[in-house]
Structure 1
Amino acid sequence: MLTIERLNKTFAAPAGPVVALSNIRLQVERGQFVTFIGPSGCGKSTLLKIVAGLDTAYEGTVELNGKAITGPGVDKGFIFQEPRLFPWLTVEKNIAANLSLGNAQVRRQVDELIELVRLKGFEKAYPKELSGGMAQRVAIARALLRKPEVLLLDEPFGALDAFTRTHMQEALLDIWRSSKTTMLFVTHDLDEAVFLGEKVVIMNPRPGHIRNVINVDLPYPRKRTGAAFQELRSKVLGEFEKVEQPPLLDQGAGI
């Protein structure tokens, strides 16, 4: 479904060109849940932006269903760390966004998504009345309404407390199983990567490249305290510990 071949991305900088991504090769099948983990500056977010069509200045091939990605579109949904809701709109209107709730089909789909993301009863609530996890569920529902081929999530739970984050991970898996949408999920949390992903992509920094791809052959729902989970976690951790960490001064580079 998603094919990335020989992808290279370079940024211009005062001190000279910075190679953010080098020779990225990856295949993602339809309906897969793939997580990406690596230190700051390894190009995880840059890779997501390229797949989303938000950055087209690169070398190589990035195709969705056999067609080159040349820009953003409704076939690619993007979820940021912050929900980015319209504060003057209710939950249901935030989900509909530029679509009219007066349209019977849109109304039905919005109602179905509100059920799916467990926000029944909050249709008329405004963003200021929602918790962080609830607001992210609104953002996910808004993206799913457009029926994207792939949903790209850039550390969507990074700002949540541990309890809410755990709940949101389970909720996202329910959404994924119900919607059958392909998901690419960037995180800095190793447990989160193993708990969610069918594949864990481990990335190295400077230049950003894929160090390893580990298949997570564990059935859902997964138990974090189970022996099989801990064994896979140790395997991913072992690979992650081999990753070359960028200098401390580069941690905020945001590449």
Structure 2
Amino acid sequence: MSEVLLEISHLNKTFQSNKGSVQALHNIQLNIKEGEFLTVIGPSGCGKSTLLKIIAGLDTQYNGSVKLGNLQVVGPGIEKGFIFQEPRLFPWLTVEKNIAADLSLKNADTRKKVDELIELVRLKGFEKSYPRELSGGMAQRVAIARALLRNPKVLLLDEPFGALDAFTRAHMQEVLIDIWQKNKMTMIFVTHDIDEAIYLANRVVILKPRPGSIRNIVPIDLPFPRKKSNVSFQELRFKVLNEFEKIEELELIDSSGI
């Protein structure tokens, strides 16, 4: 059995606004195993992206504990790769130079690693292309390769396929599964899409809002490759949808003051 790589204990996050303090996350407790693919889903405003940024070390103003391995997360580091909703590529650099980022391609080890990543994300032949010459899916693959360059222990993805069309999104899901299976890397993927959450994950974490907290964790025991049309997939989809309906019912009760 894989060891726990990421341990989140009694995590609470509060934002300050003109109207006072707003609690974004409440008592998040979650253990994520090495090599696991975890998806996080929930209504808008439930703290999905906030949770991801805290894990990444991009937000350190919280109460509780977030440990990667045996070390407390106190800031960004090469052990954590982060993929944003948009690729954020340097427009003046080619694909290979965007992947290399601040490392020189003249270094033999860097050159070899970049070439391997270009092959892995299926961009062979586009090494010399510029971001303006790439489709949205291709640009996001460059961003994924760049995040993998330093062999992070965990890859964090904040709705990376949200702006893509349905066909490209489905293709990118296959690319990501292929990367995960080949690298055995821990991945935490935030999404609004229930089918995507189930299709990718070993477990789906469902958050409820106001404040953001874990409503349920649904294990996904389907073998790969997966088919969204299968009865077993649809049963899991119904289970997750049922959790969302319960969240909506609770919100109606809260808003009515019952």
Report the TM-score range of the alignment, normalised by the length of the smaller protein: over 0.9
> What's 1:6 paired with?
10
> What's 2:172 paired with?
168
3-state secondary structure, aligned to 2:247: coil
Q: Does 1:54 align with 2:71?
A: no
2:84 to 77, 80, 85: 80
CA distance in 1, matches of 2:72, 2:48: 20
Instruction: Provide, for residues 132-166 of structure 1, a one-character-per-residue CA deviation record: whole Å limited to 9, x for no partner.
Output: 00000000000001111111000000000000000
RMSD of aligned C-alpha atoms?
Answer: 1.0
> What's 2:209 paired with?
205
Which runs of 5 or more structure 2 residues have no equivalent in the other structure? 253-258
Instruction: Provide, for residues 84-106 of structure 1, a one-character-per-residue CA deviation record: whole Å limited to 9, x for no partner.
Output: 00000000000000001000000
1:226 to 215, 225, 230: 230
Q: How far 1:66 sits from its partner (Å)?
A: 1.4
1:146 to 130, 150, 156: 150
3-state secondary structure, aligned to 1:243: helix
Q: How far 1:69 sits from its partner (Å)?
A: 0.1
Q: How far 1:243 sits from its partner (Å)?
A: 1.5
1:115 to 115, 119, 133: 119
**Bigger RCO (CA 8 Å, 6+ sep):** 1
Which runs of 5 or more structure 1 residues have no equivalent in the other structure? 248-255
CA distance in 2, matches of 1:232, 1:149: 29
Q: Runs in 1 of length 4+ with deviation above 3 angstroms? A: 244-247
Count of equivalent residues: 247
CA distance in 2, matches of 1:78, 1:246: 32
1:16 to 13, 20, 25: 20
Amino acid at match of 2:184: K
Q: How far 1:179 sits from its partner (Å)?
A: 1.4
What's the TM-score once normalised by structure 2's chain length? 0.94
Amino acid at match of 1:75: E
Q: How far 1:115 sits from its partner (Å)?
A: 0.3
Identical positions, percent: 70
Q: How far 1:246 sits from its partner (Å)?
A: 6.6
CA distance in 2, matches of 1:67, 1:165: 35
